[in-house]
Chains A and B, each alone.
Chain A
Amino acid sequence: DTGVSQDPRHKITKRGQNVTFRCDPISEHNRLYWYRQTLGQGPEFLTYFQNEAQLEKSRLLSDRFSAERPKGSFSTLEIQRTEQGDSAMYLCASSLGDRGSYNEQFFGPGTRLTVL
């Protein structure tokens, strides 16, 4: 399967714990996005990487959230001191293109986080 993959698919944690998610984009894609989706809502943009550079961050991305893409390939999203409000589906998407242009974003299957 050469699509976007995410790991884990499901994560249950207790409030206050730290969690880390991984996203492996389509191999030649230089752009990587993280979105969050809560029940009954559409996905909301969190952050964007062009290669290894994090170029955009939503105001939704509080200081408890950090994302990295160290070698311009896979990315990690860490949430520190999780809160019940962090419970959501975390979606990763990748695309190919230069800054300022649009190409289709392909989504991974998501990581469903439940904070107890």
Chain B
Amino acid sequence: RKEVEQDPGPFNVPEGATVAFNCTYSNSASQSFFWYRQDCRKEPKLLMSVYSSGNEDGRFTAQLNRASQYISLLIRDSKLSDSATYLCVVTTGSARQLTFGSGTQLTVLP
């Protein structure tokens, strides 16, 4: 079993749609939680951190449920430029290395 599991995808949605991604993690000792975005053949870039209280950044809302070890990302009013792979990420260990899910590919269609 992978340490971070994500929706398999791919997701193909029309512009303006709302799309939700889910993720579960197995290591209860995970300390920090993130969503990263990776464009095709590019490096991953931090999209947002995720907190138990929930946090919002414009059209993006992230939520963490530590009890069920579940992380979510909601994208509202999706844009063509949101097309990318979204990676669910947790940190573990004293090195705070990142443990990534396999990613979910999103394509926003005109």
Instruction: Please name 14 pairs of A and B residues whose Cβ atoms are closer than 8 Å in the assembled complex, sorted by A.
Output: A42-B87, A42-B100, A42-B101, A42-B103, A45-B99, A91-B43, A91-B44, A93-B98, A99-B95, A100-B96, A102-B31, A102-B32, A102-B96, A105-B98
The verdict on A101 contacting B96 (CB below 8 Å), with A42-B87, A42-B101, A42-B102 known, is: yes
What's the Cα separation between A108 and B42 when bound, in Å?
9
Q: Mark A residues whose CB is within 8 Å of B.
A: 33, 35, 40-45, 48, 50, 55-56, 91, 93, 97, 99-102, 104-105, 107-110
Known A43-B44, A107-B43, A107-B45; judge A100-B98 contact (CB<8 A).
Answer: no
Instruction: Tell which of A42, A50, A93, A108 has the most Cβ of chain B within 10 Å.
Output: A42
- Residue pair A44, B100 in contact (C-beta under 8 Å): yes
Residues of chain A within 8 A (CB-CB) of B97 are 33, 45, 48, 56
Known: A107-B43, A108-B43. A43 touches B100 (CB 8 A): yes
Choice from B4, B31, B87, B95 contacting A55 with Cβ under 8 Å:
B95
Once the chains bind, are B44 and A107 in contact (CB under 8 Å)?
Answer: yes
Tally B residues with Cβ within 8 Å of A.
22
**Measured between C-beta atoms, what is the minimum distance from B81 to chain A in Å?**
20
Q: How far is the CA of A33 from the CA of B43 in the complex (A)?
A: 14
Closest to B45 in A: A107
Closest 9 CB pairs of A and B: A42-B100, A107-B43, A48-B95, A45-B97, A56-B95, A102-B96, A102-B32, A42-B87, A43-B100
Cβ of B93 under 8 Å from chain A: yes
Residue of B nearest to A50 (CB): B95
Minimum CB–CB distance from A109 to chain B (whole Å) comes to 5
Q: B94 — which chain A residues lie within 8 A by C-beta? A: 55-56, 99-100
Which chain B positions have C-beta within 8 A of A40?
A: 102-103
Mask of B9-27 contacts with A, CB within 8 angstroms, 1/0: 0000000000000000000
